[in-house]
Amino acid sequence: MNAEPQHPHTREAFYRRDRRTVRLARKFAQEALTDWALAERSDDVLLCVSELATNALLHGVPVGRGFVLRLTLHTDGVLRAEVHDSGPGEVRAPDAAPDASPESEHGRGLLLVAALADKWGVGERNPGKIVWCECAVSGGCRSSPRDLRP
């Protein structure tokens, strides 16, 4: 019989659709990282959280709703950040399109997540979706984590 892995450290917060929630989500993540004594790769994790929260607000949270940010520190030293939204739509894999304008303010979020996280992906949720990323934060952090993709 396979036992479900234990998640001794999980934190979750709900945020309404509001431009200030990205800052609040980042602060929430910073507090969790501090409480869990995780300085390693904290800048990467915080930027990924910011980008996932921003994408949820811009593309996944209908008016009058919000999103959930869940952080889980697994016993193997992997931190998983998940953003659960209730909106329709697909999350497209990042693509550095040759015709994209360098001045564009859109389309860079998931490129950053893909570059900084060890893994990232999208899961189903009804309604909506879960966009997640994982970073090794202790014991087994690769010297070049950016080479890994989902």
- Does residue 132 lie in a domain region? yes
Mean per-residue pLDDT over the chain, rounded? 81
- Does residue 2 lie in a domain region? no
- Does residue 147 lie in a domain region? no
Query: Which range marks the domain in which residue 63 is found?
Result: 9-90+110-141
pLDDT tens-digit series, residues 35-56:
999 988 999 999 999 999 999 9
- Does residue 97 lie in a domain region? no
Q: What is the DSSP letter of 142?
A: -
Cβ burial 26-59 (10 Å sphere, 16+ → b, else e): bebbeebbeebebebbbebbbbbbbbbbbbbbeb
Q: Which residue has the tokens 């994408």?
A: 55
Indicate the range of 35-44, 64-73, 120-129, 134-143 predicted with least confidence.
134-143
> Which ranges of 10-132 does DSSP label H, i.e. alpha helix?
21-35, 42-55, 109-116
Query: How many domains would you assign to the chain?
Result: 1
- Does residue 72 lie in a domain region? yes
CA distance 113 to 146: 10
Residue 83 and residue 67 in contact, taking contact as beta carbons nearer than 8 Å? yes
Q: What is the DSSP letter of 134?
A: E
- Does residue 99 lie in a domain region? no
pLDDT tens-digit series, residues 13-29:
999 998 899 999 999 99
- Does residue 64 lie in a domain region? yes
Q: What is the DSSP letter of 17?
A: S
Q: Give residue 89's pLDDT.
A: 73
Q: How far apart are the first and last CA of the chain?
A: 27
Torsion sign across C-alpha atoms 115, 118, 121, 125: negative
pLDDT tens-digit series, residues 74-102:
989 999 999 999 887 777 766 654 455 55
Segment 141-148 mean pLDDT: 35
44: CATH: 3.30.565.10
* Helix%, strand%, coil% for the chain, nearest 5: 30, 25, 45
Segment 117-123 mean pLDDT: 94
Question: Which residue would you say has higher pLDDT here, 120 or 40?
Answer: 120
Q: Give residue 140's pLDDT.
A: 33
Confidence bin at 142 (pLDDT 50/70/90)? very low
Instruction: Please give the angle made by the CA atoms of 6, 7 and 13, to the nearest 5 degrees.
Output: 155
pTM exceeds cut of 0.85? no
- Does residue 98 lie in a domain region? no
